[in-house]
Amino acid sequence: MGINLSNFLVSKSHDRKMGQYQDLDHLDGLAVSSVSANLYNSKRDDLAMFYFRDGANFASLYTKSKILSENIKWNLSQKTQKIFSLVVNTRNANSFTGEHGYKSMQHLADLISKQLTEKQKEDEDDPKIIKPKNLIFGCTGTIGEKFPEEKIKSKIPELIKNIKYTQNKYIWMKVALSIMTTDTQPKIAMEECKIGNTTVKIYGVAKGSGMIQPNMATTLAYVFTDADISNDVLKKLLKKNIENTFNAISCDSDTSTNDMISIFSTGKAKNTLIKTINDKKIKSFDEALNSLLLNLAKRVVADGEGASKFVTINVSNSKTEQDAKKIGFSIANSPLVKTAISGEDPNWGRIIMAIGKSGVDINLNKLSIKFGELVIVNKGKIHNQYNESEAAKYMKGLDINLSVDIGNGKKSFTVYTMDLTNEYIKINSDYRS
C-alpha cells in the first residue's frame, strides 16, 4: 500500500526521509486505517481509525482546560473497561460546538459500532457486539467551527473497508500523516522491552505543533502495546511518566481544549497480566514507556510552528522540583528569551529576567548560568572569562542547551521548548486559511 503523497506534498512541509524514522511494524491486536474525508478540501488523509479486534485495556489523560471539546466530553462519559476503536479527525476541533458537536459523536459512534460489529461477523470466529460506549474520539483543528459530521459519516464505510490487520513502517507513516494539522513532520516512535521473560512492543504516534503547553496530557498522542496490563496500572503508568515528558514541553505556553493522551493494551504478547503498579516485572516497561513518551514529546517541540531551534532548559539544585519547573517554564515561555534565541543573540539578561519573574526565591550569590559548556554567570556574578563572541557563536547552533543552577537544594527539572520566529507569527495569523 502506498502513502497518500498529498500529505507530504504541501507547501509548509520540510524534507523528509523514511530512514529518519524508526521501523515500526506489526503490533498484534491492533489494526489501522486512514482516508481522506475532504476536511481540508484536498485529497490528503484527514481521518484515522485504530481498531482493536478483540478489544483493548486502556487509560487516557485529558486537558486541564476549563473548556473541553465535545469529543473529550464524550470520552469522559464512556465508563467501559474495553475499547474497540479510536477514531481521529483533523481540521475541526469539535470544540465550542455545543449540542450539535456532542450529538455528532453519538451519531458517529452509533454508525461505527454497527459497522464494526458487521466486520466482526465477517472476520472473526467469535464475533463480538461492539457498542457505542466501546469507542472514543480524538479531534484536532480549528475551535468554534461546525463539526463536519456528514463528511465524516460518508467516509466511515471506506475507513472500515481499508482496515489493515498487518502494519509496516509505511502504514504507520500514513496514519501519522493523517492526524497532522500544522505539523510538518509525522511523529512515530517505538520501544521493545521485557515483562518477565516475554518480549513486548510499545508503539506511539503523536501530532502537535502549536497551542502546546500540555497540562496532564498533550496535543494528541496515542500509545499502543501488545503487553497485558490492567486499566488501573496503565493509568498509573501514564500519570507517572507524563510529568517529565509531555508535561515538560512548551511551544507557545498555550493549552488546548482537546489535549489527550491514551494508552491501549491488546494483551496479545501473553505475558502474565500486570494487575498492580508494584509488580516488579513492570520496571522495564515503565522505563521503555518513559523513553517513548519523551521521544514523541521532543518530536512535537522540534516541529513547533516556525521553530528553527530546539531548546533544552535544565534547572538544577533547586529546593523543590516544583520550583525548578516554575523557573524552567518561565524561561521557556518568555517571548523575549525565545526571540533572542531565534535571533542568535546571547542576551543572558533575559534569562535573568525570566528567573526573577518565576516567583521562586533566588539567592543571587548561588545562581549560575551556562549556555552549553560556556559559563555565563557564576555564583551571582558574570564569569571572569565570559566571551560574548563565543556565546554568539554557540547560539548559531540548532540545539541550544541552557543550564540554570539555583544552588539552594538538590532537585532538578528539564523543560524542552523552541524559539519564536517570524514564521510562527505567519502561521498563526493565517491559521484557518
Residues with catalytic function = 218
Length in residues, the chain: 433
Q: Which residue bears the cell 482496515?
A: 163
The Cα–Cα gap between 181 and 249 comes to: 19
The residues with which 32 forms a beta bridge, in sequence order, are 50, 164
Residue 23 one-letter amino acid: D
Which residue, 378, 384, 428, is CA-closest to 404?
A: 378
Count CA within 13 A, CB hemisphere, residue 344: 11
What does the DSSP 8-state code read for residue 137? Answer: E
Q: Three cell numbers at 237?
A: 503508568
The residues with which 135 forms a beta bridge, in sequence order, are 85
CB atoms within 10 A of CB 305: 26
Helix (H, G, I), strand (E, B) or coil at 20: helix
- What is the separation, in whole angstroms, between the first and last Cα of the chain? 31
Q: Three cell numbers at 49?
A: 481509525
Q: Three cell numbers at 145?
A: 467551527
- Assess contact for 6 and 42: CB atoms under 8 A: yes
Alpha-helical (H) ranges within 282-368 are: 283-302, 321-332, 335-342, 348-357
